Amino acid sequence: MDQTNGNSFTVSPRNRAGRWANKAHSQRAGSETLPDAQKQLLDPIKDDWLYPFIQLMMMTGLRTRELCALRWCDVNWERRTMHVVRTVVEFPSHRIEPKIRSARTVVLSDPAADMLRTLKNLQAKAQASAGSDWVETDLVFTRQNGTGLRPSSVSYSFALRVSQSPPITC
């Protein structure tokens, strides 16, 4: 754990959200409420399919490619953890590959676990609506027919929505 003047890095060693907390603070991923700037960023997309994806990314520090490869079998509901063991590789072809050197376990906060439960219920409804058109992949984040998301499409969609949103004020 990286330490500086009694502070410790929260969420994960690869936390790109840059949240710092006192050592006594919970080490669960996403245990803090989202800062105002992040709330302002998410507000315009709260009814969008991107919202849970970006929210989980901010809560856990996972990369887009890791979230696109996350499967429900990687979520341990009893231990409140996610095993990050795969990543999506888009070129030369779209495929999911195992993470060899950087596989890790991320502990989920209550809000992150609740958000995943809600997402699982929504996905079950989408699967029922799709009927025989549903493609079973066990992926957490999917299109309306169950197929996986492309990281480049997620990034493009998010950038497009942010560019159309009002500026963030701090």
Better-predicted residue by pLDDT, 38 or 119: 119
pLDDT at site 3: 36
Report residue 138 CA to chain centroid gap.
Answer: 15
Q: Is the pTM of this model over 0.95?
A: no
pLDDT tens readout for residues 64-105: 999 999 999 999 999 999 999 999 998 777 788 998 888 999
pLDDT at site 40: 80
pLDDT at site 170: 67
pLDDT at site 36: 78
Instruction: Tell me yes or no: is domain 3-163 CATH 1.10.443.10.
Output: yes
pLDDT at site 20: 37
CA-CA-CA-CA dihedral for 113, 115, 121, 122, to nearest 10: -160
Residue 110: closest CA among 12, 19, 31, 17:
31
pLDDT tens readout for residues 125-160: 999 999 999 999 999 999 999 999 999 999 999 888
Decide if 145 contacts 133 (C-beta within 8 A).
yes
User: In degrees rounded to 5, what are phi and psi of residue 86?
Assistant: -140, 160
pLDDT tens readout for residues 6-61: 333 333 444 444 443 333 333 445 444 567 778 888 888 888 889 999 999 989 99
Q: Domain coordinates of the chain in residue numbers? A: 3-163
pLDDT at site 125: 94
pLDDT at site 112: 94
